[in-house]
Structure 1
């Protein structure tokens, strides 16, 4: 399928709301074009000098149009794709385009794994001193929290390519465990640093079985 492309160094996941400021002439043209046609365009992830995988976005609304033609828009991420071929310009348009095929996601996760990941996220937020309101197993959507659990761009990009829910959750679980361990070590170090210059109360040593 041929779609307009708007490469960005960002990863978006299905269901995510995306706010964009459009200022380049080619992308002003892109938004005006899709507004009158399909309403969708692709955002391939620009990473390490290449674009292969990305996400289709649907234009939800144009919040503001400036005198310069610049726009503030809201989009909804729809589905992920892989680029088959890329064109620097799409026909006589200023913007790029490409042939893509859409990835089929398989929801093969089990409730216990989802609940485990949820528990780890709550533990992570507690360690960071961040409150998260009304997050339960019933309304838990990992994709709405992807950008808020300390993943790097490379990690998010790797997640985007995974087509099985269980694989994605296991990847996130491992990341959370590692991150929590690091934070715990940092907190312990902060406590140790805080003890410097203070009087220390040591437990008395029992020399009963002491040998020289």
Structure 2
């Protein structure tokens, strides 16, 4: 078990994925300062209900998913507006066993880190998903993330596709919680096919 700060967001981050964020709230600026001092990370968790920002101190904290990803800082830049632009990378999946909040409304959690998924090669009949991922990586906004992708690895391909495709967050969360990378690719393939059929 480990204690980590949480950063609830309306998205899903996988291990190996990268995420640009703009930090303006004091509680998260303080959190990042503490993380940099201790060379530690924070948990990115999907918001099920509510908003990531608090408009006033008495506002209710968002309802969150219980499986998330530990994120570590890759790069940062202090903007002219006082906001902090950061780039983080997902490292390990975790499950929340207990959660609470600090006096500054920062969410904290006791988490159990999950083992890495078993290595699996992308099957021959799923190679079209690799081609789709390659095309997504050509977009300028994605190139700016400097992602390193192993196109042979089913976990890597499935994670990057889930993050980059415009899929419902609840589906993305289910993909994160899956432990079988081949089954994840199969579910992605099914949903992508449905989306393509609905557009034709």
| Unaligned stretches of 5+ residues in structure 1 | 185-212
| Unaligned stretches of 5+ residues in structure 2 | 50-62, 140-148
1:107 alignment partner, one of 119, 135, 145: 119
What is the TM-score when the length of structure 1 is the normalising length?
0.70
For the pair shown, which has the larger CA radius of gyration, 1 or 2? 1
* Cα pair 1:149 1:176 within 8 Å, conserved: no
What is the TM-score when the length of structure 2 is the normalising length?
0.74
* Cα pair 2:17 2:159 within 8 Å, conserved: yes
Larger RCO (CA under 8 A, 6+ residues apart): 2
SS of equivalent residue, structure 2 residue 9: coil
Q: Pairwise mapping of residues 59-70 of structure 1 onto structure 2 (< 5 A)?
A: 59-66=73-80, 68=82, 70=83
2:189 alignment partner, one of 173, 179, 203: 173
Which structure dedicates a bigger proportion of its chain to strand?
2
SS of equivalent residue, structure 1 residue 166: helix
Q: For the aligned residues, what is the CA RMSD?
A: 2.9
Higher mean alpha-carbon deviation, 4-13 vs 151-160, is at 4-13
Alpha-carbon separation, structure 2, partners of 1:132 and 1:66: 30
2:68 alignment partner, one of 50, 54, 73: 54
Alpha-carbon separation, structure 2, partners of 1:64 and 1:136: 32
* Cα pair 1:83 1:98 within 8 Å, conserved: yes
Q: 2:168: which partner in 1?
A: 152
Q: 1:83: which partner in 2?
A: 96
Higher mean alpha-carbon deviation, 107-116 vs 47-56, is at 107-116
Distance 1:66 1:117, change over 3 A: same
Which deviations, in whole Å up to 9, do the C-alpha atoms of 1:120-179 show, x marking residues without a partner?
x38xx7xxxx9958x995698343332333311111011010011112111101111111
Q: 1:96: which partner in 2?
A: 107
SS of equivalent residue, structure 1 residue 31: helix
Q: Pairwise mapping of residues 1-212 of structure 1 onto structure 2 (< 5 A)?
A: 1-48=2-49, 49-66=63-80, 68=82, 70-89=83-102, 95-104=106-115, 105-118=117-130, 121=132, 141-184=157-200
Alpha-carbon separation, structure 2, partners of 1:76 and 1:183: 33
Alpha-carbon separation, structure 1, partners of 2:112 and 2:15: 15
* Cα pair 1:115 1:137 within 8 Å, conserved: no
SS of equivalent residue, structure 1 residue 11: coil
